[in-house]
Amino acid sequence: MKTLMLNENEIAKAADILKNGGLVAMPTETVYGLAANALDGSAVAGIFKAKGRPMDNPLIVHIADLSQIHLLVSCFPEKAKILAERFWPGPLTIILPKSDRIPDEVSAGLDTVAVRFPSHKVARQLIAASMPLAAPSANLSGSPSPTNARHVYDDMNGRIDAIIDGGECAVGVESTVITLAGDVPKLLRPGGVTVEQLRQAIGEVVIDDAVMNPLSSGEKASSPGMKYKHYAPKAKVILLEGSAEAFIAYVNAKKSDGAAALCYDEDMGRLKVPYIPIGHADDYEMQSHKLFSALRNADEQGFRTVYAHCPKTDGMGLAVYNRMIRAAGFEVIEL
């Protein structure tokens, strides 16, 4: 299959592809999404095939107008209304009981559906010109998510119908996922909307164990995506927990082993190994923005072992931590 490269002015062409059951990668404010008609099970099945995604990992449905949610869910409770009012359009996904219009491929057989209203202009125009779109991140399953069109092309050329180039994604990590389908609102994946902001809006929000810890064997994932190895480059990633001085000393001592570092901007001058900066230590937004690109960059440079700081877990730090710890296969060294 030939993959068309489209620009932001070719939304109508992309919408036609979607109406014919095809697959289009689109920019969003979080990461690039691989979209298909959310109400067409066989179109959605194509997403799983193109990504090599396990069929038991459900997809997020993207809307461009709040009225579309009633097509997708069987109820829209007060807390969902508050979150929608406060954070949509934006990087928040809300899980609710699904309507019977949702194909099994989208919900992976669950009785819930994940819904998001993105803020990116191109994503909104594409949905408005077509229909609600099911879209996971537009990478091969298990790889770091794509934050620009070239990343998508590298993974998906020849596997999908088209890619719309909308430049770099602003947020850089996937949406925050919260479920309102249980008794207490629960954070399943941290992202651009922080748990502190969610609690301010609706009160109690618990954090699913799998956000920070590996699932123990036999444990059932509340978000199926969390049970898979994720976001991992080919390079081995190892997290180091300790002071900046300890980090620099440890990594420099590994120079002869061919080590490289994902480092904070202020550490660059003191490192004796190749490094990729990801922002200042306290700038979690910048770290989110650069993380996936940095992981892909590590592979492009052929690094085999990459040491990174173990992130803090307040604010958007939790989103960085959640991705890094999975990219590192939960390997953390205390210094």
112 interacts with ligand AMP by CB under 6 A: yes
**296: Cβ contacts below 8 Å, ≥ 6 apart:** 144, 151, 154, 233
38 and 44 in contact (C-beta within 8 Å)? yes
Which of 110, 240 has the CB closer to ligand AMP? Answer: 110
177 interacts with ligand AMP by CB under 6 A: yes
59 interacts with ligand AMP by CB under 6 A: yes
| Residue whose Cβ sits closest to ligand AMP | 225
Residues numbered 72 to 101 that lie near ligand AMP (CB under 6 A) are 95
Q: Distance (Å, rounded) from C-alpha 301 to C-alpha 129?
A: 40
Q: From the CB of 60, what's the least distance to ligand AMP, in Å?
A: 5
Q: From the CB of 59, what's the least distance to ligand AMP, in Å?
A: 6
In three-state secondary structure terms, 305 is: strand
- Token pair for 216: 């123990």
Which of 91, 136 has the CB closer to Mg ion? Answer: 136
47 interacts with ligand AMP by CB under 6 A: no
Judged by beta carbon distances under 5 to 8 A according to partner kind, the member of ligand AMP, Mg ion, none in contact with residue 223 is ligand AMP
Percent helix / strand / coil, the chain, rounded to 5 = 35, 20, 45
Alpha-helical segments (H) within 60-194: 69-72, 78-87, 104-107, 121-129, 149-156
Q: From the CB of 139, what's the least distance to ligand AMP, in Å?
A: 8
Alpha-helical segments (H) within 170-219: 195-202
Residues numbered 192 to 251 that lie near ligand AMP (CB under 6 A) are 223-226
Which stretches of the chain bind Mg ion, using CB under 5 A? 136-137
DSSP codes of every residue in 89-103? SSSEEEEEEBPTTS-
60 interacts with ligand AMP by CB under 6 A: yes
DSSP one-letter code for 206: E
How would you class 160 by CB atoms within 10 Å of its CB: exposed for 0-12, middle for 13-18, buried for 19 or more? buried
Residues numbered 269 to 298 that lie near ligand AMP (CB under 6 A) are none
Judged by beta carbon distances under 5 to 8 A according to partner kind, the member of ligand AMP, Mg ion, none in contact with residue 233 is none
188 interacts with ligand AMP by CB under 6 A: yes
Which of 136, 233 has the CB closer to Mg ion? Answer: 136
DSSP one-letter code for 65: S
110 interacts with ligand AMP by CB under 6 A: yes
Instruction: Count residues near ligand AMP (CB under 6 A).
Output: 20
Binding piece for ligand AMP, criterion CB under 6 A, among 66-74, 83-91, 110-118, 236-244: 110-118
In three-state secondary structure terms, 135 is: coil
Crossing angle for the helix pair 11-19 and 121-129, to the nearest 10 degrees: 50
107 interacts with ligand AMP by CB under 6 A: yes
Return residues touching ligand AMP (CB under 6 A).
57-60, 95, 107, 110, 112-114, 136-137, 174, 177, 188-189, 223-226
